Amino acid sequence: MADDSLEIATDFMNIYVGQIEAGLSETWAEAYANHRLNEDVEDSAWAAFMAVSKSQGYEQAKKELVPFARFLDDDPSFVENYAYFFIYKWTIEDVKEFIRIKNSLIEKRKSEVYAREYALHHNSTPDDDYCHLFASKFEECINKGIDTGNAYTIAEAYEDCYDTHYPQDNDIEGKKFIDVYIQGFEYAIVNGIDSPKKFAKEYQAAYYNNGERPSYVAKGEYDYIISKLLANKG
């Protein structure tokens, strides 16, 4: 029993000292060491983060993430991304996979914006087609000068349309049907129109009911806006 206690105490001190030497606070080091005796790295790190947050505040706890990330892996990209994604409960492997995917896309001459959003989306939706749909639409919005929040909303709607209608690669009309809806949706989002889904459906209906260059007849809530929008596209 005494030998077991000594072994536990020794293990605790080794872990504790390792954290202090890595630049972590005593509060972090103590909580991490206590949990690391019986738990994995990620659960122990979360316990330490919460201990610091409780005693010294959330912002201080976030500052501890950089030296802890460096303790795990001193690659600058890992340190930056682990410190950022930690609070979203990403694992070490999640972060490394994000970096791997992002770097591989940049090597293929994809933009930083596209690569980041593709890799980020892959964490929650590990389907290459949907990741591409989301990232490409997000990149297109950013290139148009649309702010990040609206770009996310539009890209999510674009992905949802494909999930609902699932057109095949050679289904040109099916893809156009989605594109027309998203044109209306994007216009509504960017211009602050209430009920963007409703606006997009009315826009889509007007587009198809009256041809590609319609003389739009007022029938709905957004008549005037849609008639001007479609006329300009003609």
Three-class DSSP category at 234 = coil
List of residues 6+ apart from 153 with CB closer than 8 A: 189
Domain that holds residue 171: 167-234
How distant, in Å, are the alpha carbons of 35, 67, 71 from that of 22? Answer: 17, 6, 6
Q: Is residue 88 part of a domain?
A: no
Among 55, 73, 91, identify where a domain stops: 73
Confidence band for 109, pLDDT divided at 50, 70 and 90: very high
Last residue of a domain, one of 43, 73, 103: 73
* pLDDT at residue 172 tops 80: yes
Q: What are phi and psi of 73, to 5 degrees?
A: -165, 120
Does 103 map to a domain?
A: no
Whether residue 182 contacts residue 190, with contact meaning beta carbons closer than 8 Å, is answered with no
pLDDT band at 211 (very low <50, low <70, confident <90, very high): low
Alpha helix segments (H runs only) across the chain: 2-21, 26-36, 41-56, 58-72, 76-85, 92-107, 112-124, 128-143, 148-165, 172-190, 196-209, 223-233
Residue 110 falls inside a structural domain: no
Distance of CA 107 to the CA centre of its chain: 21
CB atoms within 10 A of CB 37: 11
Tell me: pLDDT of 1 over 90. Answer: no
Residue 39 has pLDDT above 80, yes or no: yes
Please determine, for residue 99, whether its predicted confidence score (pLDDT) is greater than 50. yes
Tell me which residue of 189, 194, 164 sits closest to 177, measured CA to CA: 164
Q: Averaged over 112-126, what is the pLDDT? A: 95
As a whole number, mean pLDDT of residues 215-230 equals 64
User: In the chain, how many domains are there?
Assistant: 2
Domain boundary among 44, 73, 102: 73
Q: Report if residue 30 sits inside a domain.
A: yes
Residue 204 within any structural domain of the chain? yes
Residue 136 lies in a domain: no
- For residue 102, tell me if it sits in a domain: no
What 8-state DSSP symbol labels residue 73?
Answer: -
Asked whether residue 219 is domain-assigned, the answer is yes
Predicted structure pTM score? 0.84
